[in-house]
Amino acid sequence: MTPRRSSPTGAGRSRGDCALHSGAGIRPGLGRELYGAFPVFRAAYDTVRGALDHWLRLPLAAVVFAPEGGVDAALIRRSESGQPALFAFHVAAFRLWQSWRLRAIPLVCATTGRSMGPGPGRQPLSPG
């Protein structure tokens, strides 16, 4: 995959792919398909989950992968489960993208949206 050249001014800046990880919008089963399909995603998710489970009331997988409509599935919408679930998903997605040889430049992100972006002249995610 070769970056295309484009810019609003036509000055030839390199255009790469971009990914934005939101701090909201968690849903039951987030990442279930990726977890089942990609060993890289599963390994990264399990590493993060293992580190976080010690601090949570219920194991993260029990909440994230709970059957829809089940008692534990509703807990994903609470911050104490939803935020760790998003973090584990984002780390696993990042590792999956790396395995596809996408080069990521870290983003500074806040759920309030106050500070987002890799900095001037840097692309968040590009082939490499």
Please check whether residue 67 lies inside any domain of the structure. yes
| Inside any domain, residue 108 | no
Q: Is residue 127 part of a domain?
A: no
How do beta strands 14-15 and 4-5 pair?
Answer: antiparallel
Q: What is the pLDDT of residue 125?
A: 47
Segment 23-44, tens digit of pLDDT: 566 777 888 899 999 999 999 9
The 10 Å CB-count burial string (b at 16+, else e) for 58-69 is eebbbbbbbeee
67-98 confidence digits (pLDDT tens): 888 778 788 888 888 889 988 998 999 899 88
Residue 5 within a domain: no
- Which structural domain range is residue 79 located in? 27-102
What is the model's pTM?
Answer: 0.67
98 assigned to some structural domain: yes
How many structural domains are present in the chain?
1
